[in-house]
Chain A
Amino acid sequence: MSFWHFLQLNWPELLLLVRQHIVLVFISILVAVSIGVPTGILLTRYRALRGPVLGIANVMQTIPSLALFGFLIPLPFIGGIGSRTALVALVLYSLLPIIRNTVTGILGVEPSVREAAVAMGMTDGQVLRQVELPLAMGVIVTGIRVATVIAVGVTTIAAAVGAGGLGVYIFRGLRQYDNNLLLAGALSAAVLALAADLFLGLLERQFSFEGKRSAAWSRVALAAGIVLVVVVGVFALRSPGGSESSQGHVAIGSKDFTESALLAEIMAEMLEARGVSVERRFELGGNLPHEALVNGTLDLYPEYTGTSYTAILHHTPIGDPRAVYDQVKQEYASQFKVEVSPSLGFENTFAILVRGADARKFNLKTISDAAPHTPQWSAGFGQDFMSRADGYPGFSKAYGLKFAAVREMDLSLTYIALSSRQVDLIAGNSTEGRIATLDLFQLADDRHYFPPYEAVYLVRQDSLARVPALREVLAKLANAISTDEMRRLNYEIDGNKRDPKEVVKEWLGSRGF
Chain B
Amino acid sequence: MAAPFVRNMPDSKMGRPRSAAPTITPVKICLVEFHNVTFSLPAAANIISDLNLTVERGETLVLLGESGCGKTTTLKLVNRLLTPTGGEVRVEGKSTTAWDPIALRRRIGYVIQEGGLFPHFTIARNVGLVPALAGWDQARIMERVRKLLSLVGLDPDRFADRYPRELSGGQRQRVGVARALAADPPLLLLDEPFGALDPLTRASLQHEFADLTSRLGKTAILVTHDVREALILARRIGLMHKGQLLLLETPERFLNSDHPQARAYLDTLKVDDGGKQ
Instruction: In the complex, identify which listed stretch (A112-120, A309-317, A426-434) lies at the interface while the others stay far away.
Output: A112-120
Name the distance in Å between A206's Cβ and chain B's nearest Cβ: 11
CB distance B133 to A116 under 8 Å?
A: no
Q: Tell me if A's interface is mostly helix, strand, loop or mixed.
A: helix
Encode contact with B along A104-143: 1 for CB under 8 Å, 0 otherwise.
0000001011011111111100100011001100000000
CB distance A115 to B119 under 8 Å?
A: no
CB distance A209 to B165 under 8 Å?
A: yes
CB distance B106 to A116 under 8 Å?
A: no
A210 interface residue per 8 A CB criterion? yes
- A115 to B235 Cα, complex, angstroms: 28
Given contacts A121-B130, A121-B133, contact A116 B105 (CB under 8 A): no
- A119 to B106 Cα, complex, angstroms: 8
CB distance B119 to A123 under 8 Å?
A: no
Report which residue of A113, A116, A117, A123 has the largest number of chain B beta carbons within 10 angstroms of its beta carbon.
A116
What A residues does B119 contact at CB under 8 A? 110, 113, 135, 209-210
Partner of B114, one of A112, A122, A123, A134: A112
Name the distance in Å between B30's Cβ and chain A's nearest Cβ: 22
Given contacts A112-B114, A113-B118, contact A118 B165 (CB under 8 A): no
CB proximity to A under 8 Å, residues B178-199:
179, 189
CB distance B81 to A134 under 8 Å?
A: no
Tell me how many residue pairs across A and B have CB atoms closer than 8 Å: 56
Partner of A134, one of B120, B129, B130: B120
Name the distance in Å between A212's Cβ and chain B's nearest Cβ: 9
CB distance B103 to A121 under 8 Å?
A: yes
Q: How many residues of A contact B (CB 8 A)?
A: 19
CB distance B120 to A135 under 8 Å?
A: yes
What A residues does B79 contact at CB under 8 A? 119
CB distance B112 to A120 under 8 Å?
A: no
Encode contact with A along B239-273: 1 for CB under 8 Å, 0 otherwise.
00000000000000000000000000000000000
Name the distance in Å between B163's Cβ and chain A's nearest Cβ: 7
- A123 to B165 Cα, complex, angstroms: 26
Given contacts A115-B81, A126-B133, A209-B163, contact A121 B106 (CB under 8 A): yes
What B residues does A123 contact at CB under 8 A? 102
What A residues does B108 contact at CB under 8 A? 119
Partner of A112, one of B116, B133, B163, B165: B116
- A130 to B112 Cα, complex, angstroms: 19
Name the distance in Å between B114's Cβ and chain A's nearest Cβ: 7
What B residues does A210 contact at CB under 8 A? 119, 165
- A209 to B163 Cα, complex, angstroms: 9
- A126 to B121 Cα, complex, angstroms: 14
What A residues does B106 contact at CB under 8 A? 120-121
Name the distance in Å between A133's Cβ and chain B's nearest Cβ: 10
CB distance B114 to A120 under 8 Å?
A: no
Identity of the chain A residue whose Cβ is nearest the Cβ of B183 in the assembled complex: A121
B34 interface residue per 8 A CB criterion? no
- A112 to B176 Cα, complex, angstroms: 12
B110 interface residue per 8 A CB criterion? yes
Given contacts A113-B118, A113-B119, A131-B118, contact A120 B165 (CB under 8 A): no
Partner of B113, one of A112, A120, A122, A135: A112
Given contacts A121-B106, A121-B133, contact A116 B116 (CB under 8 A): yes
Name the distance in Å between B260's Cβ and chain A's nearest Cβ: 34
Identity of the chain B residue whose Cβ is nearest the Cβ of A124 in the assembled complex: B102
CB distance A120 to B110 under 8 Å?
A: yes
- A120 to B80 Cα, complex, angstroms: 12
Name the distance in Å between A7's Cβ and chain B's nearest Cβ: 46
- 18 residue pairs from A and B, CB less than 8 Å apart: A112-B112, A112-B116, A113-B117, A116-B116, A116-B118, A117-B118, A118-B105, A119-B81, A119-B189, A120-B133, A121-B104, A121-B133, A122-B102, A130-B118, A131-B118, A134-B120, A135-B118, A135-B120
- In the A-B complex, the 3 residue pairs with the smallest Cβ-Cβ separation, listed nearest first, are A116-B116, A121-B106, A121-B105
B residues with CB within 8 A of A: 79, 81, 102-106, 108, 110, 112-114, 116-120, 129-130, 133, 163, 165, 179, 189
- Apart from A110-B119, A121-B102, A209-B165, what are 18 other A-B pairs with CB-CB below 8 Å? A113-B117, A113-B118, A115-B81, A116-B110, A116-B116, A116-B118, A119-B81, A119-B189, A120-B105, A120-B110, A120-B129, A120-B179, A121-B130, A121-B133, A122-B133, A134-B120, A135-B118, A135-B119
